[in-house]
Amino acid sequence: MKRDLYEQEHEDFRASAAGFVRTAVAPHWEQWEEDGIIDRAAWTAAGRLGLLGVAVPEELGGGGVADFRYRTVLIEELCAIGANSFNASLSVQDDLVMPYLVDLGTDEQRTTWLPQLCRGEAIGALALTEPGAGSDLRGIRTTARRSGSGWRLDGAKTFITNGYLADVVVVLARVEPAVDAGAYALFVVPADRPGFGRGRKLDKLGLRANDTAELVFDDVALRDEDLLGIEGRGLAHVMERLPRERMSIAATSAAASAAALDWTRRYCFERSAFGRPIGDFQATRFTLAEIETDVDAATSLLDRAIGLLNAGELTAVDAAKVKYWISDLHQRVVDRCLQLHGGYGYMREYPIARSYADARIQPIYGGTNEIMKDIIGRDIAARAASR
């Protein structure tokens, strides 16, 4: 289906993004997968080309254009070659860490970190999840206690994307004692603060080049100036920014599904069985037809949601619908595409095998799809009750 989402400036940006992926990512990403880490040189290369922080104000080192379409262009180009790990890393930087700093940061926090993050010279992480608290963030145990004119931060976080390489981490903590505004707060924590530590770099099923780590905070001294946003409103600040995170996940699932279809379509007409391409068999053609239609439907839903996001009209319920449906569809697409590859689809030398493993996290992070359905269901119940 022909898309009408992009304009010429986005296609110009795509040319730059495609060149970056071709020269700075494609020759290296398989080695990154083996090593379990992405070379920092790729981050700085992205920064030099202006691919990071497009929505960040120009005076803070960004592009000054709050248009999510630029993000989806880069997502599409990375997913097209199966570089899903690097895409996940950049999504945390661009769709989570930088928006928190732009929206909530003090002048000092913004001028200290945003130019470095936009240049790729600093890597950021968002530390919400804990060993005993995933989707239920009210259960976190990391605490920030008042101490003189500052704070003391104690606790542990897990499943933190970019955690191993991060230079700065936005941390959600429980405030003790709680204030009238609430019991949670966000802090900007530089990784060189005494007491900040990294645990294991986690061994994951997929996204293997992406450094996902455990983080430890052992009596880390923080200043009042390290508070991000309003004391007590940390959890509210997180909830307000979840729709953009969920859109990033949905955009990745749509792009990765399209890439899987493209690899499979080509494979089906290059691979022969019983004297003819397997794409000439009716069963294969029907499967490809179903997958292509599903991908078109997902792309149409995503494009509509991007328009709402850019207009400031995307609700939390809308974002939950888009994230749940497209990430669930992603699972079905890569499964069927792998099946059409036969035994070769199970080999990691084929991108569909790696994409299959990478895809499995999509319905889990950013809030599990069960949580998404609960958000949607509660909205349905509220609307029914108001009639």
Successive 10-residue mean pLDDT values, the chain, 387 residues: 94 98 97 96 98 98 97 98 98 98 98 98 97 87 94 97 97 92 95 96 95 97 97 96 96 98 97 93 97 98 98 96 98 98 96 98 96 97 92
Q: Looking at residue 182, what is its pLDDT? A: 87
| H-run or E-run covering 91 | helix 84-91
CA distance 239 to 6: 29
Q: For residue 61, is it left (φ>0), alpha (ψ between -120 and 50) or beta?
A: left
Q: Looking at residue 291, what is its pLDDT? A: 98
Nearest residue to 125 via CA among 103, 79, 157: 157
CA distances from 120 to 14, 24, 45, 179 (A): 19, 14, 7, 36
| Spatial contact of 14 and 73, defined as CB atoms under 8 Å apart | yes
Hunting for tokens 């997902």 — which residue is that? Answer: 298
CA distances from 204 to 61, 78, 209, 304, 369 (A): 34, 20, 9, 33, 20
CA distance 1 to 147: 59
Q: Give Cα 335 distance to the centre of its chain.
A: 21
Looking at the DSSP bridge assignments, the partners of residue 186 are: 172, 228
CA distance 47 to 49: 5
Locate 228 and state its tokens: 């991000």
Which residues have a catalytic role annotated?
A: 245
Q: Is the pTM of this model over 0.75?
A: yes
Long-range contacts of 197-201 (CB under 8 A, 24+ apart): 198/163, 198/164, 199/156, 199/158, 201/36, 201/37, 201/163, 201/164
Rg (CA), the chain: 21
- Give the dihedral of Cα atoms 176, 179, 182, 183; nearest 10 deg: 0
| H-run or E-run covering 336 | helix 316-340
Burial of 376 (0-12, 13-18, 19+ CB in 10 A): middle
CA distance 95 to 335: 28
